Amino acid sequence: MKNIIKYIFFVIIVVSYNSNSFGAENSAKLLNPGWSFKGFTGTFDRASLQRGYQVYTEVCAACHSMKYLSYRNLSEPGGPEFSEEQVKIIASQFEVIDGPNSDGDMYTRAARLSDNFVGPYANEQAARALNGGAYPPDMSVLVKARKGGADYIYSVLLGYGETPSGVTLDDGVYYNTYISGNKIKMANPLTEGLVQYSDGTSATEEQMAKDVVTFLAWAAEPHLEARHKIGFRAILYLIVITILVYFSMKKIWSRIETEV
């Protein structure tokens, strides 16, 4: 019986060690460029948000939808804060299917501020058919849906590299340092100078990755700044209340004579 227990214990130790070793070999420390929205008082960089929307539109939107975001969100406080006229122009560039009309027919019209972002595919089946069976994930809450959040997505965007010797990849599969198994079906979406920023910022791969991830972080949590402000005020309120209670209790107890 004792030998059996020792054997089971030995097997558990070996399996645990191998699992930890495997995890260590297939994981890399995520990149962190220094996010302005992180921390207790973090805020979004407006210029970065606007550039990030441009990167999403010109690079990512061809494959990835953002179905939980509406065009009017782009002009709301806490976000990219485009003017309402700018957003109307942005929305008018897309068509949505609406209806039925008075004749019972569906029709297409230009998107309005109240419409959600128009996706690149009619449905999931069409998306898979055009991407070799893979379904490009919706980006609306992608930062919240992935372990590592903004750091993970930023790292994946910059994690493409030459396939190491001894590693074989199928056609349409690419090597990425930060993906589990180091294999990804999405080709590297970013190349130097891929977009022309209207504010003159140099469109390096690192800059584009940082900007688009900032935009995705806002899309996943558009009320982050308001939440930070409320949290900060709540803590100040609690500090003041604590001080008042302390001095009130001290005054009350000062009237009570202590027994000798």
Show the 3-state SS of 11-44.
HHHHHHHHHHHHHHHCCCCCCCCCCCCCCCCCCC
pLDDT recorded at residue 11: 39
pLDDT at residue 118 is higher than 80: yes
Q: How many structural domains does the chain have? A: 1
pLDDT recorded at residue 154: 97
Token duo for residue 11: 């097997």
pLDDT recorded at residue 259: 56
Q: State the sign of the Cα–Cα–Cα–Cα dihedral 69, 75, 79, 80.
A: positive
What is the percentage of the chain residues whose pLDDT exceeds 70?
Answer: 88
Per the CB < 8 A criterion, the answer to whether 59 and 53 are in contact is no
The beta-strand segments (E) located in 134-215 are 174-175, 183-184
pLDDT at residue 20 is higher than 70: no
Q: Is 156 inside a domain boundary?
A: no
What is the percentage of the chain residues whose pLDDT exceeds 90?
Answer: 64
Per the CB < 8 A criterion, the answer to whether 63 and 136 are in contact is yes
pLDDT at residue 1 is higher than 60: no
pLDDT at residue 134 is higher than 70: yes
pLDDT recorded at residue 17: 41
Q: Is 243 inside a domain boundary?
A: yes
pLDDT at residue 49 is higher than 70: yes
Q: Is 161 inside a domain boundary?
A: no
pLDDT tens for each residue of 169-215: 888 899 999 998 999 989 999 999 999 998 999 999 999 999 999 99
pLDDT tens for each residue of 140-166: 999 999 999 999 999 999 999 999 988
Q: What is the mean pLDDT of the chain?
A: 87
Per the CB < 8 A criterion, the answer to whether 80 and 56 are in contact is no
- Whose tokens are 């209340």? That residue is 241
Domain ranges, residue 247:
223-260
Token duo for residue 111: 């998107």
Q: Is 232 inside a domain boundary?
A: yes
Q: Is 257 inside a domain boundary?
A: yes
Q: Is 235 inside a domain boundary?
A: yes
Pick from 42, 52, 43, 107: nearest CA to 77: 43
pLDDT recorded at residue 2: 47
Q: Is 249 inside a domain boundary?
A: yes
Q: Is 106 inside a domain boundary?
A: no
pLDDT bucket at 258, cuts 50 / 70 / 90? low
d(CA 160, CA 171): 16
pLDDT bucket at 257, cuts 50 / 70 / 90? low
d(CA 219, CA 214): 9
Token duo for residue 20: 């930890």
pLDDT at residue 6 is higher than 70: no
Average pLDDT score over residue span 45-64: 96
Lowest-pLDDT range, 171-175, 228-232, 240-244?
228-232
What count of Cα atoms within 13 Å lies in the side-chain half-sphere of residue 60? 25
Average pLDDT score over residue span 99-117: 92
The beta-strand segments (E) located in 76-221 are 95-98, 107-110, 174-175, 183-184
**pTM, whole model, 2 decimals?**
0.80
